Amino acid sequence: MQNIFDLKNKKAIITGGASGLGRAMAEGLYDANAEICIIDVSENIEKVANELVKNGRKVNFVKANLSNREEVKSSFAKALEILGGIDILVNSAGTQKRHPSENFPIEDWDIVLELNLTTVFTMCQMAGREMIKQGHGKIINIASMLSFMGGFTVPAYAASKGGVAQLTKTLTNEWGPKGVNVNAIAPGWMDTPLTEALVGNPDREPGILGRTPAGRWGKPEDLKGTVIFLASSASDFVNGAIIPVDGGYLAK
């Protein structure tokens, strides 16, 4: 039987692919036989790319600051040239700033919205043009629990992730008829650098884990199966979905 999850001969670009959730998803796509290119600002990007290599299959990379609009465009163009095309885009690059809303600096608001939402739109737009021309493609955005709720002291992050969810639906409406699937993954409470202020926090952790039926923090590896599903032909009739990978958090 044909393996509908196999990504052989598929070309994938993953932003934020050098660490955390992005690295795990890049590894998942690579292990499913996709040819990948990670884009990240990390100084360790080449080291990470080499660590992901298995059986001699290359992992491509482009170092770029995705908060800079010109570098967003040039890095996508370079990744596209390296791969020779694009079938899959995963928008995983993101950032977080925490302040009480009444004191939230507008400079931090701009930083978060630029990377978490504007860069996502620009990447989607550039990938979408290529995918519309070829009549197929898979775009996977990374939403959040804060696409559904407000959170505390993170107004910019919540606004950006609410925007990612709505952007995903809008692009689906326009591009679904043209063969492009646009979906999003909403990770639950994951143990990553973005949640370091919460992991072990006696005021926040008990409430988070108490509401999570799985009873633990999520791990980056928990996203591998979902990203492979959304990138593969198994999800050809899945459009505009915001899929929680949250240990049941939203169900409680």
Tell me the average pLDDT across 141-151: 96
Q: What is the pLDDT of residues 202-244, one digit of tens each?
A: 999 999 999 999 999 999 999 999 999 999 999 999 999 999 9
Per the domain annotation, does 5 fall within a domain?
no
Residue 87: pLDDT band (50, 70, 90) is very high
Mean pLDDT of 59-80: 98
* pLDDT greater than 80 at residue 118: yes
Query: For position 197, what pLDDT does the model report?
Result: 84
Place of tokens 């591998």: 224
**Is residue 194 predicted with pLDDT exceeding 80?**
no
Output DSSP code: residue 152: S
Domain span at residue 29 reads 11-251
Q: Is the pLDDT of residue 162 over 80?
A: yes
Q: For residue 4, tell me if it sits in a domain.
A: no
Q: Would you state the pLDDT for residue 75?
A: 98
**Does 3 map to a domain?**
no
**In this structure, are residues 29 and 6 in contact, taking their beta carbons and an 8 Å threshold?**
no
Question: What's the CATH code of the domain at 47?
Answer: 3.40.50.720
pLDDT at 58: 96
- The answer to whether residue 6 is domain-embedded is no
Q: What is the pLDDT of residue 216?
A: 95
Stated as kind and residue range, the H or E segment containing 171 is helix 155-175
The predicted pLDDT at position 37 comes to 98
DSSP string, 5-23: T--TT-EEEEETTTSHHHH
pTM, to two decimals: 0.96
Q: What value does the mean pLDDT of the chain take?
A: 96
Number of domains in the chain: 1
Give catalytic residues, as residue numbers.
Answer: 157
